[in-house]
C-alpha cells in the first residue's frame, strides 16, 4: 500500500457518516442502510491495498457506494418502499385534509418515488446539486467526471423529474370513477334474458344479465 494512505479504521471513523448519507441519497432504504454501509466498508477493506491516493478518499468511497446501491436495486427488484406512482397517489388520497404533517409526508413520498425512477448516475447529480446545494465543480470532483457530464446528467434528471411531476399531478386531478352502486341496470325478466335473437344466438340482453350476476 502506498505510504500515506489511511488505515481502514481511520477511513471508517472519518467517513462513515458520509457513506451513510451517500447511500441514502442513492436510494437505499433506511432499513437497509446498516447492511449497505457494511457492504461498502467490506469493499474498502478488500480494495484498500490497491488505493493509490490519486483521488480523494471521499470520491473513492462515493464510487463504491454507487456500486453497492446499484447491486441492492437489482436484488430488490423495487426502487422504494412506496415503489410506484399508484402507491404515492393512494397515500395522497388517504392523507387528504389531515394537516401540514400529512402534506409533508405526501411530498416526501412523491419526491422519493420520482428520484427512484431516475438512473442512478442522474439521481446522484440531481440530489447533490438540487438538494445538497453542491456546485457543478464540486460534484465533478466528487464523482470524478467531467464538468460537462455533470450538467448533462443534471439536465436529463431535471427533464425526467418534471415529466414525473406532471404525470402524477395529472393522475391526481383525474376524477374518480363512479361507484358501482350508482350504476343501475334496467329491470330484466327471465323471459327477456332467455329470449333468442333472430339468428338463434342468445340475445345481448341475456349476456348483459349474465355479466351482472
Q: Which pLDDT tens digit goes with each residue over 133-185?
A: 999 999 999 999 999 999 999 999 999 999 998 988 888 777 766 665 554 55
Task: List phi, psi (to 5°) of 193.
Answer: -65, -35
Query: What integer is the mean pLDDT of 24-47?
Result: 95
**pLDDT for 99-124, tens place per residue?**
677 777 877 888 888 999 999 999 99
Q: Does the pTM of the predicted model rise above 0.85?
A: no
Predicted local confidence at residue 173, as pLDDT: 74
Q: Going by C-beta distance under 8 Å and a sequence separation of 6 or more, which residues neighbour residue 124?
A: 25, 26, 62, 66, 143, 153
Predicted local confidence at residue 201, as pLDDT: 46
Please give the Cα distance from 34 to 144 (Å, whole number).
Answer: 26
Predicted local confidence at residue 78, as pLDDT: 47
22 neighbors 65 (Cβ within 8 angstroms) = yes
Predicted local confidence at residue 143, as pLDDT: 95
The DSSP letter of residue 3 is: T
Name residue, grid cell 494512505: 5
Please give the Cα distance from 28 to 101 (Å, whole number).
Answer: 24
Report all structural domains of the chain as residue ranges with CATH numbers, in order of start. Answer: 1-77 (1.10.1740.10)
Q: Max Cα separation, the chain?
A: 96
**pLDDT for 65-100, tens place per residue?**
999 999 988 776 444 444 444 444 444 454 445 567
Name residue, grid cell 370513477: 177
Beta-bridge partner residues of 196? 202
Amino acid at each position: 500500500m502506498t505510504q500515506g494512505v489511511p488505515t481502514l479504521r481511520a477511513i471508517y471513523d472519518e467517513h462513515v457518516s458520509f457513506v451513510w448519507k451517500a447511500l441514502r441519497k442513492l436510494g437505499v432504504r433506511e432499513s437497509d442502510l446498516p447492511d449497505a454501509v457494511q457492504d461498502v466498508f467490506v469493499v474498502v477493506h478488500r480494495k484498500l491495498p490497491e488505493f493509490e491516493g490519486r483521488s480523494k478518499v471521499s470520491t473513492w468511497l462515493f464510487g463504491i457506494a454507487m456500486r453497492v446501491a446499484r447491486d441492492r436495486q437489482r436484488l430488490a427488484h423495487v426502487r422504494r418502499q412506496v415503489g410506484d406512482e399508484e402507491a404515492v397517489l393512494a397515500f395522497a388520497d388517504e392523507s387528504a385534509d389531515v394537516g401540514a404533517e400529512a402534506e409533508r409526508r405526501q411530498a416526501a413520498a412523491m419526491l422519493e418515488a420520482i428520484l427512484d425512477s431516475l438512473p442512478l448516475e442522474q439521481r446522484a447529480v440531481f440530489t447533490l446539486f438540487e438538494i445538497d446545494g453542491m456546485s457543478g465543480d464540486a460534484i465533478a470532483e466528487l464523482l470524478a467526471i467531467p464538468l460537462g457530464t455533470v450538467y448533462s446528467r443534471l439536465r436529463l434528471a431535471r427533464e425526467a423529474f418534471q415529466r414525473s411531476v406532471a404525470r402524477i399531478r395529472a393522475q391526481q386531478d383525474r376524477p374518480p370513477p363512479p361507484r358501482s352502486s350508482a350504476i343501475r341496470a334496467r329491470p330484466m325478466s327471465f323471459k327477456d334474458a332467455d329470449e333468442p335473437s333472430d339468428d338463434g344466438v342468445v340475445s345481448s340482453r341475456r349476456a348483459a344479465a349474465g355479466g351482472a350476476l
